[in-house]
Amino acid sequence: MSAGYVIPHEQIGEWKLPSRGLVGMTCLVIAESAIFIIFVVAYLFYTGKSLTGPTPRDVLETPWLASICLISSSITVHFAVHDLRLSRIRRFTSWLAATVVLGTIFIAATALEWYDLIYHRGLTISTNLFGTTFYSLVGLHGSHVIVGLLMLGLTLLFALMGKVNVHHAERLEVISIYWHFVDAVWIVVFTVVYVVGR
Amino acid sequence: MATQTQIRVNPALQRGWLDHVQDWVTTVDHKKIGLMYIAYALFFLVIAGVEAILMRIQLLVPNNTFVSPQVFNRLFTMHGTTMVFFVGMPILFGFGNYLVPLMIGARDMAFPRLNAFSFWIAAFGGLLLYFSYFAGSGLYGAGTAPDVGWFAYAPLTARVFSPGHSTDYWTLSILISGIGSIGTALNIVATTLCMRCPGMKLSRMPLLVWLYLVTSGLVFVTISPLTAAQIMLCIDRYLGGHFFDTQAGGSAVLWMHFFWIFGHPEVYILVLPAFAFANEIIPVFSRKAIFGYPAMVAASVGIGFVSLSVWAHHMFTVGMGAGPNAFFTFSTMVISVPTGIKIFNWLATLWGGNIHFTTPMKFAIGFLFQFLVAGLTGIMLSVSPFDWQLGNSYFVVAHFHYVLVGAILFMIFAAFYYWYPKMTGRMLSDKLGSWHFWLFLIGFHLTFDFMHVPGILGMPRRIYTYEADRGWEIWNIIVSSGAVFQAVATLIFVWNMIVSYFKGEKAGPDPWDAWTLEWATSSPPPSYNFATLPTVESRRPLWDRKHPEEPDAQYE
Amino acid sequence: MLFSPEMLAGRRLIRSGDDFLAPWLVRHFSRPLRQAASIFDSSSTSIFSPQATPAHSIFSLSVLVLSICGTIFLVVAGLLLFTLIRYRHRRGYTQREPAQIYGSTQIELSWTVLPILIVVVLFLATARVIFVTQTAAKPSNALDVTVIGHQFWWEYRYPKLGIVTANELHIPVSDAKQPTPTYLTMSSADTDHSFWVPRLAGKLDLIPNKVNTMWIDPEKAGLYLGQCAQYCGTQHAKMLLRVYADSPADFAAWVAHQQKTATQESLVSAGRAVFEGNACVNCHTISGTSAHGTFGPNLSHLASRDTIASGSVPNNAQNLRAFIDDPAQFKPGVLMPAMHLNDHDLDAVTQYLRTLR
């Protein structure tokens, strides 16, 4: 009996289970949301509690262009997945390229904003509570954008090398869930930092 | 084309010990990773146990000078941190890794490589924590371990109050092990949802798998806040941030909230797997199906949700208003309802059964009594005015050790006796198991029953010594003496595991006449688990096979 | 009686359904409980020998909670024990397996509802004590004391009386008929601490950047002990609390004495010169001298205290001299540095400090 019991194998109708990639990414999104919630709570808790200046009203400018770029990249990545599923590789590649470009514009805009804040407006992470919470929340989000861009950029590279086909649609969808999540988080961060926090 | 006869084993290529090491280091097999988790947790269990014994020697008599206050403070910090993050979590993840795929009839976890990564990064976290003993002071001089306590209240962790790098080691090791925990939890959820064998509906999963699903879900929403808080602490300590810097308007209370939003559900992350073991072991040795399977699932999920709303009962003494105090009193009391359901359902499972007092069952019964007491002292502590007296006293220390040792560790021991045959193919010695059980039981009750008393007499926790005139001496002597019994019992247990590995009775695939799928394969299982993937029609597939005349499926 | 009007000293009672149950339990259970608790009386810090209203109300509540929890334990553990004995495996068991029972909605419902009812009762009783203690109206004749926690000592300021002292808190006894409770306003200068004198009240934390308040009203004159209950650093263990409840006359005398400027005897002017000529003045205050430091305890009336080093050793010449020489020998990790004075200076400054009555 070294093989143990053999359970009789019977036919049990259709047995379908969810895709592990999607489930895994959903779990990651839940865990990441919890991290962001804590940072958002800290930001809101410390709003207006800085002992010294500068205040958000003094130095922050609403990043409309960057926000529009990032939000639209959510739409372009959606079309990229859609086209890959239909095996329209050329259209998929262009949508993916557009996503990467839009994401890069967002990161570049954030970099310029930070440069301006640090060198011209005298706000660093150690200036006051606002600086600490601002750079950590926006920075945490920015680092997620960078990770997303790396994944999308790598996919784009493979696509340009002609190595991506319809069988990879589910994997791209997993990445796109992450990217949608990053966008959704930006809507929250944007509201908290540039609307409520000011 | 080479024929079979031409293949010869070159003697130089025979497997040496290095090949074995390579096998284990590079493995992605869930069973090997599970065993490595368990081994690593046992290693730290011994270390943290030694730390506990050193503390008990120091507290044996008042004004003792066995260790200095600095050393004592490091001991309790390291003991707590190690036991929670590098014993509790890995040992439970170890069993989960080993058992979940087997019990749902899968051949591996959903993400085997992520599984290996999670283990190694968590293991690295533990080593990093202990490396602080050599490097904790950085360039200041000799090494020191962190001494901020396992919940590391701000602003004690600020650079001003904790210079050097010892606190950084604490933060970073927990941050890193947290990443490993989230990885493993993600893996368990994906495995449970996506890898079940045909017929294994959610409503037919063994309760153990259900509880691991709930625990893993809790990991996402609790370890993450801790990770966030540790990132903030790192920003404070390295980049000059002010999150918990009270000099710059930061809040010490915010850290407490963030920590306990993690810290309390963490208790449930640790105790739910213990419930999981009980759910498998108690029915098998009562020879009955678990009583009220749907209620058990609902209670587990309920505990998961309610546990997210009770964190501030750790903060009754920080001066919250009457409203929040009342709210957290209520939510904490409410959690006793689903917990009560579990205890009563176990009782009903025993009722009318044919109870076999095997070693795993003995530990499980110890668990039932002790968890009952721990729950009741928990209710006392949830009464916030009572907590104003008892909070941060030895009563609290006794209470949570009743949970962590009396309930969780007892169930972990039970799990060892129950699944060791599956993991190794050999039974653990029953005789040594009895010695282990009774000695540990005596030691446990000497230590932790009597530990409640000095708390009632006003002895706060975390003091390296105490005054002679407070009437605490006799209790501390009893408490310390219990530690000796527990230490001896643990040595017997370790000895049992070593001896039985080589000389234990052969187990066979199903030594306990049990009902879940892990017993349907050989012991130890082959790397592919099942030659053919099983198909199930009820919660107890092996019962159906052994009792074709009245299969479970008819009654569920 | 639980929460008698006298005990609450005229504060509003919140009435609720357990008004009957709680006094009944106290009447029938508090005697045996107290007798059992008499083994606890050997301790000067037992939470079961309350001497002030907050500690009393907690004690009464704890009697209720303990009796409910005790009953639950007896019932469930008894049932469990019975089951284990009754249904143990016996030799000669002939059935292959016992009858399989998968559950019963009615039974499960009953052991869901019953705990809910118990929880509701416990919660109502608890909520009452929370609100009575935390929202008690402050009488106009209450004494105000500001408590500031330091690593590893206590600073007490009496803002209306102009007194600053350390480690030994003097407050008046509170007469039940004319209560004179003491309201403590608490904060911390560095890390978190917790003020816990078990026989007077539950603990409350001292947290930097946060102000907490609590009140105590000792019934009897005497010394009440306690200690810091929140880990605050290396010397957390020796951050002891001493609360002296004085009779009204004694308290008035103590106040009058503390309000005086520190004595300046010419005999010990050498010691005073040593004190003022060293780093002592950076951290300590002695009224009437150039010492205005606030980092360490105020020493204006040091010699009037019974203990030094935050209550850890008796205040006598020998201990004081040793403490100044190297404080870490009593409290390793203490923030006061070893002053390394020569023997002559050490004697002089000890003599000087001994005169600060």
Q: Residue A43: enclosing H or E segment and its boundaries?
A: helix A20-45
Q: What is the 8-class DSSP label of residue C53?
A: H
Q: What is the 8-class DSSP label of residue C231?
A: -
Asked, as a colleague might, if the bond just before B262 is cis with ω within 30 of 0, I would say no
Please, what is the Cα angle at C216 between C215 and C217, to 5 degrees? 130
Q: What is the pLDDT of residue C11?
A: 38
Q: What is the pLDDT of residue C14?
A: 36
Closest CA relative to residue B367, chosen from B437, B264, B439, B297: B437
Rounded distance between C-alpha atoms, residue C339 and residue C349, angstroms: 11
Assess contact for B517 and B536: CB atoms under 8 A: yes
**Which residue in chain C has the smallest CA separation from B465?**
C237
Q: What is the pLDDT of residue C16?
A: 39
Three-class secondary structure of residue C169 per DSSP: strand
Rounded distance between C-alpha atoms, residue B532 and residue B102, angstroms: 13
Query: From the CA atom positions of chain A, what is the Rg in Å?
Result: 22
What is the average pLDDT across C221-233? 95
Asked, as a colleague might, if the bond just before A54 is cis with ω within 30 of 0, I would say yes
Rounded distance between C-alpha atoms, residue C316 and residue B49, angstroms: 42
- pLDDT > 90 fraction of chain A, expressed in percent and rounded: 87
Tokens describing residue B462: 């975390």
Assess contact for A10 and B551: CB atoms under 8 A: no
Q: How high does pLDDT run on average in chain B?
A: 92
Residue contact B229–A38, C-beta within 8 A: yes
Nearest to B372 among C76, C115, C130 (CB): C76
Helices B89-103, B207-239: axis angle to 10 degrees equals: 140
Q: Assign residue A55 a region (left: φ > 0; alpha: ψ between -120 and 50; beta: otherwise).
A: beta
Residue contact B509–A1, C-beta within 8 A: yes
- Tell me the HSE value of B291 on the side-chain side, using a 13 A CA sphere: 22
Pairing state of beta strands C182-188 and C143-150?
A: parallel
Assess contact for C141 and C180: CB atoms under 8 A: yes
Tokens describing residue B286: 């009562």
pLDDT per position as a tens digit, A40-82:
999 999 999 999 889 999 899 999 999 999 999 999 999 999 9
Mean pLDDT check: name the lowest of A9-18, A126-135, C11-20, C326-335. Answer: C11-20
> Within a 10 A sphere around the Cβ of A64, how many other Cβ atoms?
11
Residue contact B220–A23, C-beta within 8 A: no
Neighbours of chain B (3+ CB pairs under 8 A): A, C
Torsion of CA A172, A175, A180, A183, to 10 degrees: -130
The ipTM is: 0.92
| C-alpha B261 chain-centroid distance | 18
Cβ neighbourhood burial of B548 (10 Å; 0-12, 13-18, 19+): exposed
Chain C residues within 8 A of B450 when measuring between CB atoms: none
pLDDT per position as a tens digit, B228-276:
999 999 999 999 999 999 999 999 999 999 999 999 999 999 999 999 9
Closest CA relative to residue B121, chosen from B64, B176, B200, B161: B176
Question: What one-letter code names the amino acid at B386?
Answer: F
Residue contact A132–B537, C-beta within 8 A: no
Assess contact for C61 and B386: CB atoms under 8 A: yes
CA distance B111 to chain C (A): 35
Q: What is the pLDDT of residue A5?
A: 52
Question: What one-letter code names the amino acid at C350?
Answer: T
Give yes or no for residue C8 having a pLDDT over 50.
Answer: no
Rounded distance between C-alpha atoms, residue C344 and residue A151, angstroms: 75
**Which residue in chain A has the smallest CA separation from B238?**
A126
Rounded distance between C-alpha atoms, residue B148 and residue B135, angstroms: 16
Write out residues in chain B with pLDDT < 70, as ranges: 1-14, 136-143
pTM (2 d.p.)? 0.92
Nearest to B336 among C61, C76, C115 (CB): C115
Q: Identify any residues that bridge with A16 across adjacent strands, giving them in sequence order.
A: none
Q: What is the pLDDT of residue B13?
A: 58
Give yes or no for residue C18 having a pLDDT over 80.
Answer: no
Tokens describing residue A125: 């992470």
pLDDT per position as a tens digit, B215-226:
999 999 999 999
Question: What one-letter code names the amino acid at C345?
Answer: D
Chain C residues within 8 A of B362 when measuring between CB atoms: none
**Which residue in chain B has the smallest CA separation from A31?**
B220
Pairing state of beta strands C168-172 and C182-188?
A: unpaired
Rounded distance between C-alpha atoms, residue B530 and residue B105, angstroms: 7
Q: Which residues have a Cβ under 8 Å from the Cβ of A44 and sit 6 or more positions away? A: A192, A196, A197
Rounded distance between C-alpha atoms, residue B378 and residue B375, angstroms: 5
Helices B293-306, B336-350: axis angle to 10 degrees equals: 160
Q: What is the 8-class DSSP label of residue B471?
A: S
What is the average pLDDT across C257-270? 90
Rounded distance between C-alpha atoms, residue C115 and residue A54, angstroms: 55
CA distance A154 to chain B (A): 20
